[in-house]
Structure 1
Amino acid sequence: MTGISLNLPEDLSNSLADLAKTSGQTASYLAVDVLRDYIEHEKVLTSQIEQAVEEADQGKFATDEQVAATRARRWNSNAG
């Protein structure tokens, strides 16, 4: 494993130490876990954005009806 040094704001460092203590994990383990999740999320998001740009470049856009249906589904799922 490769080492890295980070300078964290005191409040973040304290929160990380507290979470490590309560979870029984090391601060390093938690930091690696969070970074791994963040990087994976960003890779997926970037891929989705690139695909959307390609589709837009090809003139593929959602219809007004599709947009309205998506909004309605999201509104209904968030309302309850």
Structure 2
Amino acid sequence: MTETPLNLPEDLSTSLADLAKTNGQTASYLAMDVLRDYIEHEKTLTAQIELAVKEADQGKFATDDQVAAMRARRWSRNAG
């Protein structure tokens, strides 16, 4: 494992230590877990954006009906 020094603001460092203690983990383990999740999320998001740009370059766009259906699904999830 490679050690990477990380300077955190005091409030963030305290919150990390408190949460780690509450969960019975070390602050290092919790920070690694959070960073791993964040990096994976960003990789997935980047891949989705790259695919969307490629499709747009090919002239592939959602139809009005597809956009309306997506909006309806999102609004219905947030309504209740």
TM-score normalised according to structure 1 size: 0.97
Q: What residue number does 1:27 align with?
A: 27
Count of residues in correspondence between the two structures: 80
What is the rounded CA distance, in whole Å, between the counterparts of 1:40 and 1:73 in structure 2?
26
Aligned residue in 2 for 1:77: 77
Q: Kindly provide the CA deviation profile for residues 13-51 of structure 1, in whole angstroms up to 9, marking residues without a partner as x.
A: 000010111111000000000000000000000000000
* Alpha-carbon offset, residue 65 of structure 1: 1.2
- Which stretches of structure 1, 4 residues or longer, exceed 3 Å deviation after superposition? none
- Measure the CA separation in 2 of the matches of 1:48 and 1:67: 17
Gaps in structure 2 of 5+ consecutive residues: none
Q: Distance in 1 between matches of 2:77 and 2:50?
A: 27
Question: Please, what TM-score do these two structures have when normalized by structure 2?
Answer: 0.97
Is it true that 1:56 corresponds to 2:56 in the alignment?
yes
Determine helix, strand or coil for the equivalent of 2:4: coil
Deviation of 1:68 (Å) = 0.8
Overall identity of the aligned pairs, in %: 82
